[in-house]
Amino acid sequence: MTDTSLADRLAMVRAGIGEAARSAGRSADELTLIVVTKFHPEGLVRELLELGVTDLGENRHQEASAKAAALAGTAARWHFIGQLQSAKAKAVAEYASAIHSVDRDSLVTALAGARPVDCFIQVNLSGDPGRGGVDEAGLEALTARVLGTDSLRLRGIMAVAPLDEEPASAFARLRILSERLRELAPRATEISAGMSHDYAAAIREGATHLRIGSAITGNRPTPR
Ligand SMILES: *Cc1c(COP(=O)(O)O)cnc(C)c1O
């Protein structure tokens, strides 16, 4: 790969998003780009802020909370996108503007009484119970729990495309699940889907929040 700068890669991804939106008959203005900075140092986040990025994604509490503290007072908005232990949920709600990985009752219970936070219900499209997300059969019950919890503002649905399925088909299933969610929660219209390699397919299937890491940041350092 030729040596490209962060600014170049960000511009390329923004252009790709614009292109995918146009070909899907959508406006890029309805899309929120979340740049996933997990495992990368605070310095990279500062560079992104200088490039006008404000929505940032992290998947581990310890790392996210350290970055959020170091960058307090900047325009950074933190999206928590990883599997979340109930014991850490309240602490995450202190700095996160949105939690994308609400996937079980015990987590909803842990977030009741926490600082109010936007959230997405994560569904597991893979059929592998080891992956995060509520299974499709549990979607309505979990939605009802979230709607009954004052501190949670339900924005929509979230998923990661399974490794063994075409993203287009996985995201088409997600769109149908989003419609099921909206029957219970008409205002929860957002869809958090699409990563470095499948964001165009996600945009075609109605994604509103793209979580893109390595295509912008370059390869991730190994986690410490
Ligand atoms: C790491 C991660 C991403 C970004 O992945 P890339 O392939 O680097 O774009 C998106 N969503 C979740 C849940 C992640 O953990």
What pLDDT, in 10s, does the model give residues 161-210?
A: 999 999 999 999 999 999 999 999 999 999 999 999 999 999 999 999 99
Give residue 102's pLDDT. Answer: 98
What pLDDT, in 10s, does the model give residues 26-56?
A: 999 999 999 999 999 999 999 999 999 999 9
What pLDDT, in 10s, does the model give residues 95-121?
A: 999 999 999 999 999 999 999 999 999
Residue to mutate (ligand 1; options 53, 81, 99, 191; most atoms within 8 A of CB)? 81
> Which residues make beta-bridge pairs with 158?
122, 192
* 152-158 vs 117-122, strand pairing mode: parallel
68: number of CA atoms within 13 Å, CB side? Answer: 22
Backbone φ and ψ of 51, nearest 5°: -85, 5
Q: Which atom of ligand 1 is nearest to the CA of 196?
A: 9
> Which residues make beta-bridge pairs with 79?
57, 98
- How far, in Å, is the centroid of ligand 1 from the Cα of 27? 23
Contact between 28 and 210 (Cβ < 8 Å):
no
- How far, in Å, is the centroid of ligand 1 from the Cα of 66? 19
pTM of the model: 0.97
pLDDT at 1 over 80: no
Q: Which atom of ligand 1 is nearest to the CA of 81?
A: 13
